[in-house]
Amino acid sequence: MRFISGLILLVLIVVSGLAQKPEEATRKLWDTAFIASSSKKTTARRRSYRNATPNVPVNNVAPETVVGVTLWRLRPANRSDSGERLIVHDDNSEWLPERISATTRLVQGDRLRISVETVRAGYLYVIDREQYADGTLGEPYLIFPTTRTSGGNNQVAVGRLLEIPAQDDSPPFFTMKKSRPDHVAEVLSVLVTSTPLEEVQITDKAQKLTDTQVASWEKAWGTSVGHLEMSETGQTWTKEEKNATTRALTASAPAPQMLFYRPSVKPTEPMYVKLRLQYRR
């Protein structure tokens, strides 16, 4: 009887797994059908991307290496808005996060948030450098992780969003601010590794890195990186995205605004991607 009961339980588990709807499964980020596809599939329409780097092939990409990034710009929430609100507890104000493109021109004072999604477990690092009108870059600073953002926890997991800053950080956003008149952009570098970087110690503030250190990471892990981006912007923060720090996203959840990929690398290879956030002239 024990054997029969165990067999019945196993069958029920298998049947339950087969009955699971595709949209209820934890989603994967990489599918070339999403790239400017004319397919009539619902998922393809919902997750249609344009190739922002046509010179980088989209074949031979290990799905585990793909990194999803979404930029959010905050605006004061109106009563008629349908998206999820971000509450700033310091003054109990409500803000509405809206998706923006990597090419959106920003103004001083804009409030931004970043969400990053991976298809593997690992560790996330974000570096910021100022860019000036003559093309030169300022000193590199590691702005994430710090103990003031997410308590210093920089681990990423499949289907989970890592938000920078976290929703309960104070404040839960970055403010765009020029350091001098010819400051034209912020260059953000997002680095995902399988193991922690031994040379980086997490402290309570942004750490100054060396040019040599950052250049070595970019040379090793940031060459031939491709970039896909959704054609539409302006979508507001959803409840699924708001809860994705503690609950895995499903296949039907909103996809990242941008996908970064690198062909012909091993699934465990670190990924180093760059975003240039420009100030409006």
CA end-to-end span of the chain: 77
- Give the SS3 label for residue 94: strand
Q: What is the pLDDT of residue 2?
A: 47
pLDDT at position 31: 73
pLDDT for the residue numbered 35: 63
Asked, as a colleague might, if the bond just before 165 is cis with ω within 30 of 0, I would say: yes
User: Beta-carbon neighbour count of residue 197 at 10 Å?
Assistant: 15
Burial class (CB in 10 A: 0-12, 13-18, 19+), 30: middle
pLDDT for 253 equals 87
What does the pLDDT read at residue 16? 38
Where would I find the beta strands (DSSP E) of the chain?
Answer: 49-51, 67-76, 86-88, 93-100, 111-118, 122-132, 141-144, 155-156, 161-164, 174-175, 183-193, 207-208, 226-230, 258-261, 271-278
CB 274 within 8 A of CB 191: no
Question: Residue 47's pLDDT is what?
Answer: 63
pLDDT < 70 positions in the chain:
1-26, 32-47
Q: C-alpha angle with apex 275: 269 to 278, nearest 5 degrees? A: 175
pLDDT tens digits, 36-87: 544 444 443 456 888 999 999 998 999 999 999 999 999 998 888 888 888 8
pTM of this prediction exceeds 0.95: no
pLDDT for position 13: 32
What's the confidence (pLDDT) of residue 83? 85
CA distance 134 to 219: 23
| DSSP 8-state code for residue 34 | G
CB 226 within 8 A of CB 146: no
Q: Which of 88, 107, 94, 126 is nearest to 202 (CA)?
A: 126
